[in-house]
Amino acid sequence: MKMIFIGDSITASGKNADPERLGNGYVRMIKEELSQNVNILNKGVNGHRVTDLAIRWERDVINLEPDLVSISIGINDVWRQLDSPDLNQVDVEKFEQIYRDLLSQLTQNNSVKVVLMEPTIIEENPESKGNQMLIPYVETVRKLANECGAWVVPTHDVFMEHLKSYPEMTLTTDGVHMNKKGNLLMAQTWLKETKDLLADYF
């Protein structure tokens, strides 16, 4: 089975310094739990938004003919609105339109399995402005997954619950990028939600 994980720096997680190009984040942790019959490609790129995924979608996904595609995108679409307000922004309507188009290209091949990960968090405070702004993007991911029959990994919900239950335990290095505990929580949540889908590969 060929699996592609595509997204931003949370997915990339230092892959450029890794000879295996898997990085040191949740993608590697998932790989370590699956059998040797699984070929995992990490296509995360630092700073990317859904608009950037669209530019490289054919090269990094379609042309590689994967059996499964896992998508984690949305953090920078919101974060850039906070830290780079002069940038051409991706509002939730544009996010939904582009994301839907990318998924439609995948679902033309009925054999491709699709996994959508909710965007995680912006600051380790459930009430932060970034987390409030993320809500419609998270809802959009769920909506699109329902439309195309994809699996949803509820990373946002799980992180929110963790922040409320264990406020003393940090999950990120800077409010966005994962530390080891954050990556482990992402990996565990992904594996839990795809357990039935990947039963033959554990």
Which amino acids are annotated catalytic? Answer: 9, 174, 177
Supply angle C-alpha 132, 138, 143, rounded to 5. Answer: 140
* Residue 75 in tokens: 């953090």
Strands of the chain (E only): list them: 2-7, 39-44, 68-72, 113-117, 151-153
* HSE-up (13 A, CA, CB side) for residue 181: 11
- d(C-alpha 201, C-alpha 34), whole Å: 6
- d(C-alpha 170, C-alpha 182), whole Å: 8
